């Protein structure tokens, strides 16, 4: 998937920002955008007044002007994305792991992140907070490491089928893809993640196959 198609799908799949989309639009090569919208459609996008427009307004603009052939591809991609838990970054400042000092967690407000793990624990590391891990495309599509869930807007009303929620004592829980959960994955070491970070072929293949199932495009 090329960068333009990826951005458009991420934008439509999220609750993105109209003005941010306008800025992105003007940074693109017009000839590439015309491949998706045609000349007239591109002119409609460029000539649109994005001031005070909502996310829904821009999505309607995109869907109205995009080439029919491309729209079919997009619809297929959206169907895949239904299998994935997504989180829209709503802030990037929150307490550090100590629960006291504030820090910038290095994520971008308005961006959509592919969530692969959600954890709530009571131990000294988690301090009763809920953390998530997202796929980090800047780091070989590895997990991001623990990031506070409060930084994201995540809809967990209906957990997609590829995921499993395991509940424990004291309100603790974990949401993760079934493929690497302890209920489904038989580890060589202590856990899937021990195998993964030890570069075990089975765990690495399971990880990338699962990302593919969730509709997350990687170089592998």
Q: Encoding tokens for residue 132?
A: 């998530």
Alpha-helical (H) ranges within 47-157 are: 55-65, 68-81
Mean pLDDT of the region 43-64: 90
- Compute the radius of gyration of the chain from its Cα atoms: 19
Q: Which residues pair with 85 in a beta bridge?
A: 115
**Cα 132 from Cα 128, distance rounded (Å):** 13
Mean pLDDT of the region 24-41: 92
Q: In which band, very low, low, confident or very high, does the pLDDT at 70 lie, cut at 50, 70 and 90?
A: confident
Domain boundaries, the chain: 3-81, 85-213
| Contact (Cβ atoms closer than 8 angstroms) between residue 60 and residue 11 | no
Can you give the pLDDT at residue 1? 47
Can you give the pLDDT at residue 213? 87
Can you give the pLDDT at residue 107? 93
Kindly report the average pLDDT of the chain as a whole number.
Answer: 87
Alpha-helical (H) ranges within the chain are: 3-13, 18-26, 30-46, 55-65, 68-81, 192-197, 201-213
Q: In which band, very low, low, confident or very high, does the pLDDT at 208 lie, cut at 50, 70 and 90?
A: very high
Q: Is the pLDDT of residue 209 over 80?
A: yes
Can you give the pLDDT at residue 13? 67
Sign of CA dihedral 112, 117, 121, 123: negative
Mean pLDDT of the region 46-74: 88
Mean pLDDT of the region 92-103: 89
Mean pLDDT of the region 20-40: 91
Q: How much is the pTM?
A: 0.68
Q: In which band, very low, low, confident or very high, does the pLDDT at 125 lie, cut at 50, 70 and 90?
A: low
Sign of CA dihedral 57, 78, 63, 7: positive
**Cα 160 from Cα 153, distance rounded (Å):** 16
């Amino acid at each position: 998937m090329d960068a333009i198609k990826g951005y458009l799908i991420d934008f439509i799949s999220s609750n993105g920002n109209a003005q941010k989309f306008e800025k992105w639009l003007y940074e693109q090569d017009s000839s590439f955008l015309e491949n998706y919208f045609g000349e007239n459609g591109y002119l409609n996008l460029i000539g649109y007044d994005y001031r005070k427009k909502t996310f829904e307004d821009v999505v309607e603009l995109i869907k109205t002007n995009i080439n029919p052939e491309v729209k079919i591809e997009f619809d297929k991609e959206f169907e895949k994305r239904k299998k994935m838990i997504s989180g829209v970054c709503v802030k990037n400042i929150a307490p550090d792991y100590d629960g006291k000092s504030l820090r910038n967690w290095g994520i971008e407000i308005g961006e959509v992140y592919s969530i692969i793990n959600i954890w709530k624990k009571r131990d000294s590391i988690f301090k009763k907070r809920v953390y998530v891990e997202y796929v980090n495309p800047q780091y070989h599509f590895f997990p991001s490491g623990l990031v506070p869930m409060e930084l994201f807007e995540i809809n967990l009303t209906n957990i997609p089928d590829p995921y499993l929620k395991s509940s424990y004592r004291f309100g603790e829980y974990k949401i993760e893809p079934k493929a690497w959960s302890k209920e489904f994955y038989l580890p060589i070491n202590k856990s899937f993640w021990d195998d993964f970070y030890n570069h075990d072929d089975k765990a690495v293949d399971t990880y990338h196959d699962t990302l593919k199932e969730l509709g997350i495009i990687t170089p592998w």
